[in-house]
């Protein structure tokens, strides 16, 4: 019996309502909303997108800013729910979508490790077991009891990446996080991601770096203004993308 795809995106559209007039206060916004005086423009970030990803595949989402890449990634991760269509995910997800997502910035790094562990469904005993490995990889022992709000963006990225990848999930979704931090740590992250891929983890990766995509992924989905333009091997997808933008 053929194995089902680990991710199935079926005819997904994502609509956002954009207010067309300015409101100066929350009170004014709520009053206008209740009186049906607030006008909206509909904006579709995704338009009837379908694709399937098989277990162990590494797939990039490419395209210009505003093309719908991050929106699709968030829909796959369950952060957003599509307006139309459906997404089926058969496996656990480790999301690396936004810096600091899931962190309480007033808590220390130590406290946030346990908080994030709970978000991923792990109990305290499990996090105790993996705590040292997480901090070793993030290289943050000096700052382990410092509130995360005092961290640089690179330090936040290191902590988030280390927590999310300590335990190999079935699916890793990554949005531009490898563009943050120093070169040495970026290389360290790539090594860990390659190890996860060799172990059968599925990767959905958003990046503007063609080099990073080619190093990590076999296939790429090119999105343009919410439309899926192609889903091809990486070289072919970039060739089409570059040709359209010349």
- Residue 223 or 192, more confident: 223
- The confidence score (pLDDT) of residue 16 equals 87
Question: How many separate domains does the chain show?
Answer: 1
> Looking at residues 103-115, what average pLDDT do you find?
94
d(CA 77, CA 171): 9
> Looking at residues 13-30, what average pLDDT do you find?
70
- Domain of residue 28, residue span: 1-37+44-91+215-246
HSE-CB for 149 with a 13 A CA cutoff? 4
Is residue 130 in some structural domain? no
Is residue 219 in some structural domain? yes
Residue 245 has pLDDT above 90, yes or no: no
> Looking at residues 52-70, what average pLDDT do you find?
94
- Comparing 6-10, 59-63, 198-202, the range with the smallest average pLDDT is 198-202
- The confidence score (pLDDT) of residue 85 equals 96
What does each C-alpha distance from 236 to 202, 240, 243 come to in angstroms?
21, 6, 11
Is residue 139 in some structural domain? no
pLDDT, tens digit, 9 for 90 and up, residues 123-169? 899 999 999 999 999 999 999 999 999 998 889 888 988 888 887 78
Residue 107 has pLDDT above 90, yes or no: yes
pLDDT, tens digit, 9 for 90 and up, residues 197-229? 888 999 999 988 888 899 889 999 999 999 999
Q: What is the pTM of this model?
A: 0.81
Mean pLDDT computed over every residue of the chain: 87
% of the chain surpassing 70 pLDDT: 87
d(CA 242, CA 240): 6
Is residue 129 in some structural domain? no
- The confidence score (pLDDT) of residue 157 equals 85
What does each C-alpha distance from 96 to 8, 100, 162, 164, 233 come to in angstroms?
20, 9, 10, 7, 24
Residue 81 has pLDDT above 90, yes or no: yes
Residue 79 has pLDDT above 90, yes or no: no
- The confidence score (pLDDT) of residue 164 equals 84
Is residue 230 in some structural domain? yes
CATH number of residue 31's parent domain: 3.40.50.300
């Amino acid at each position: 019996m053929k194995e089902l795809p680990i991710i199935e995106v079926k005819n997904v559209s994502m609509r956002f309502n954009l207010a067309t007039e300015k409101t100066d206060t929350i009170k004014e916004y709520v009053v206008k909303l209740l009186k049906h005086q607030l006008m909206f423009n509909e904006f579709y970030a995704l338009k009837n997108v379908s694709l399937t990803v098989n277990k162990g595949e590494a797939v990039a989402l490419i395209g210009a800013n505003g093309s719908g890449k991050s929106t699709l990634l968030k829909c796959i991760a369950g952060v957003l729910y599509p307006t139309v269509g459906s997404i089926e995910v058969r496996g656990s997800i480790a999301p690396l979508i936004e810096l600091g997502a899931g962190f309480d910035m007033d808590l220390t790094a130590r406290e946030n490790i346990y908080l994030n562990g709970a978000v991923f469904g792990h109990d305290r005993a499990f996090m105790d077991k993996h705590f040292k490995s997480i901090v070793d990889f993030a290289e943050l022992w000096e700052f382990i009891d410092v509130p995360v709000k005092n961290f640089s963006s690179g330090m936040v990225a290191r902590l988030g990446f280390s927590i999310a990848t300590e335990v190999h999930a079935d699916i890793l979704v990554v949005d531009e996080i490898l563009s943050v931090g120093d070169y040495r740590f970026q290389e360290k992250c790539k090594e860990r991601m390659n190890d996860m891929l060799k172990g059968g983890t599925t990767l959905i990766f958003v990046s503007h770096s063609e080099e990073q995509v080619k190093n990590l992924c076999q296939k790429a989905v090119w999105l343009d203004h919410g439309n899926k333009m192609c889903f091809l091997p990486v070289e072919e997808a970039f060739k089409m993308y570059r040709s359209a933008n010349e």
